[in-house]
């Protein structure tokens, strides 16, 4: 009963926060807290039903197998795919590194259990497990809330649409960027007079600016040239937003504005727009399935950096607490 009440309170706090400002990372945390408390309430409630106990044990075993073995191996496999398809950059190795780290946590825990209770090895294993658990909780909560946030502005009508750049292949629009542009075209079905700002500068390996290539693609899709605004200086997401909004201000736009990116990038863009005090709703386009795990991990790392002071403090407390406790109780 207690867990049920606490879960309801957490859910109400989550709903109130989303209503006031949906672009807060804390919303994801409250969603995660509500889910954990609801799960505990359900577990306690069902454990009293005799014929469900065996079922719950099997479910718990299956979840443990999935989390501790299947998921890490899947992340490693995805990292190999990213390495082969997207190149040997650190950002493309995040899923592989995450999978290896997860297996490392499992291995350390098993070693601590098999050591016969060595207090310091157990303390180190506890520290690593707490840190890993905190990061896993945040990541799952972030992915879940990103999915919710992506649907909040799905049917909204806007007088201006900003399409964030994503890199070219020479002067060609690649699939990742094409998905964003197609999403913008579909959005214009709600407002045929909407302005479309295509935002992106020219990289060292690109023949034209991203904005120019994006503009050409939109014209091929039937978007009138006089409704397309080129922003060809931006090289970061922050610049995409700031420079595009400045161009819209110059044209006297005062209505609703939507920014289009890929689904994995939606929530970080929304958080950034709030930090910049820009009134922008962010929507997402589909991404190739193999790209999603690594991309979400990259966004997760970036959000950790956004709130680095809070996260570093919590991670330090979780890492040190078992060691301090062991030092106090060990003769």
C-alpha–C-alpha distance, residues 165 and 181, integer Å: 9
Please state the rounded mean pLDDT for residues 176-205: 88
Q: Give dist(CA 29, CA 186) in Å, integer.
A: 32
Q: In the predicted model, what is the mean pLDDT of the chain?
A: 86
CA-wise closest residue to 163 among 250, 254, 249, 262: 262
Strands across the sheet with 281-285, in order? 228-231, 195-199, 160-164, 257-262, 281-285
Contact by Cβ (8 Å): 25, 271: yes
H/E/C letters for each residue in 27-69? HHHHHHHHHHHHHHHHHHHHHCCHHHHHHHHHHHHHHHHHHHH
Please determine, for residue 49, whether its predicted confidence score (pLDDT) is greater than 70: no
- Is the domain 158-287 a CATH 3.40.50.620 member? yes
What is the spatial distance between Cα 37 and Cα 16, in angstroms, rounded to a whole number?
Answer: 18
Report whether 299 contacts 276 (CB < 8 A).
no
- pTM attached to this predicted model: 0.83
At residue 262, φ and ψ (nearest 5 deg) are -85, 160
pLDDT in tens, 245-298: 999 999 888 888 999 999 889 999 999 999 999 989 898 888 888 888 888 888
pLDDT grade for 215, boundaries at 50, 70 and 90: very high
List alpha helices for 94-228, DSSP H. Answer: 94-114, 119-152, 175-187, 210-220
Instruction: Please say whether the beta carbons of 43 and 56 come within 8 A.
Output: yes
Joined together, the tokens standing for residue 175 give 């699939």
Q: Label residue 56 by pLDDT band (50, 70, 90).
A: low
Domain boundaries, the chain: 79-152+289-331, 158-287
- Statement: residue 151 has pLDDT above 90: no
Coil, strand, or helix at residue 20? helix
Q: Which residues pair with 206 in a beta bridge?
A: 170
Rounded to an integer, the average pLDDT of 156-169 is 85
* Residue pLDDT, tens place only, 91-134: 778 888 888 998 888 888 888 877 776 888 888 989 999 999 99
Residue 276 CA: distances (Å) to CA of 104, 235, 263, 280, 319: 39, 17, 21, 10, 33
pLDDT at 193 over 70: yes
pLDDT at 242 over 90: yes
**Token pair for 292:** 């999603």
Question: Of 85-94, 134-143, 178-187, where does mean pLDDT reach its minimum?
Answer: 85-94
Residue 171 has pLDDT above 90, yes or no: no
Q: What is the rounded distance in angstroms from the CA atom of residue 177 to the CA atom of residue 117?
A: 54
Element (H, E) at 81: helix 71-86
- Measuring CA to CA, how many Å separate 244 from each of 135, 176, 199, 207? 34, 20, 7, 22
């Amino acid at each position: 009963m207690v867990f049920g009440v606490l879960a309801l309170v957490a859910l109400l706090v989550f709903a109130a926060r989303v209503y006031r400002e949906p672009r807060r990372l804390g919303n994801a945390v409250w969603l995660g807290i509500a889910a954990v408390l609801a799960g505990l309430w359900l577990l306690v409630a069902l454990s009293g039903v005799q014929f469900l106990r065996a079922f719950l044990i099997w479910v718990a075993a299956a979840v443990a197998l999935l989390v501790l073995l299947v998921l890490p191996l899947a992340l490693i496999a995805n990292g190999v795919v990213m390495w082969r398809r997207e190149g040997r950059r650190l950002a493309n190795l995040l899923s592989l590194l995450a999978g290896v780290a997860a297996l490392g946590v499992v291995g350390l825990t098993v070693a601590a259990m098999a050591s016969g209770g060595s207090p310091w090895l157990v303390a180190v294993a506890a520290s690593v497990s707490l840190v890993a658990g905190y990061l896993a909780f945040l990541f799952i909560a972030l992915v879940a809330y990103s999915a919710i946030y992506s649907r909040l502005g799905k049917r909204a009508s806007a007088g201006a649409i900003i399409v964030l750049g994503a890199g070219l292949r020479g002067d060609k629009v690649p699939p990742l960027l094409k998905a964003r542009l197609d999403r913008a075209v579909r959005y214009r079905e709600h407002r045929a007079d909407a302005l479309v700002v295509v935002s992106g500068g020219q990289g060292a390996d690109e023949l034209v600016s991203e904005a120019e290539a994006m503009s050409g693609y939109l014209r091929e899709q039937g978007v009138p040239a006089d409704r397309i605004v080129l922003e060809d200086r931006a090289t970061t997401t922050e610049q995409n937003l700031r420079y595009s909004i400045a161009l819209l201000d110059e044209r006297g736009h005062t209505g609703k504005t939507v920014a289009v990116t890929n689904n994995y990038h939606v929530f970080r863009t929304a958080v950034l727009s709030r930090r910049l005090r820009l009134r922008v709703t962010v929507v997402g386009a589909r991404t190739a399935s193999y790209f999603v795990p690594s991309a979400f991990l990259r966004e997760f790392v970036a959000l950790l950096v956004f709130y680095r002071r809070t996260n570093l403090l919590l991670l330090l407390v979780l890492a040190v607490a078992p060691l301090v406790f062991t030092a106090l109780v060990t003769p």
